[in-house]
Amino acid sequence: MEYQCRICKLHYTDKKLADACYAWCSTHEGTCNLQITKKSIEAQSGK
Ligand SMILES: [Zn+2]
């Protein structure tokens, strides 16, 4: 199961991470939180 942040479109395997990313993105528009985004599926895949 994958969860997607609706704002930055990154995917997470953990809903809590997707929720945290969404919460961050909704209040810090245009600025990614590396602590969260580095756990995304995209980041984990090394792309
Ligand atoms: Zn996000």
Structure tokens at 10: 């990154």
What is the distance in A from the centroid of ligand 1 to the CA of 7? 5
Residue 32 is predicted with a pLDDT of 77
What is the distance in A from the centroid of ligand 1 to the CA of 1? 17
Residue 29 is predicted with a pLDDT of 73
Question: 32 near 23, Cβ under 8 Å?
Answer: no
CA dihedral 15→18→19→22, nearest 10 degrees, is -160
What is the distance in A from the centroid of ligand 1 to the CA of 47? 17
pTM above 0.85, yes or no: no
Residue 19 is predicted with a pLDDT of 97
What are the 10-residue block averages of pLDDT along the chain, 47 residues in total? 94 97 90 90 85
8's torsion region: left (phi>0), alpha (psi -120 to 50) or beta? Answer: alpha
Domain borders along the chain are 3-44
What is the distance in A from the centroid of ligand 1 to the CA of 6? 7
Residue 47 is predicted with a pLDDT of 58
What is the distance in A from the centroid of ligand 1 to the CA of 31? 9
Identify the DSSP state of 10: -
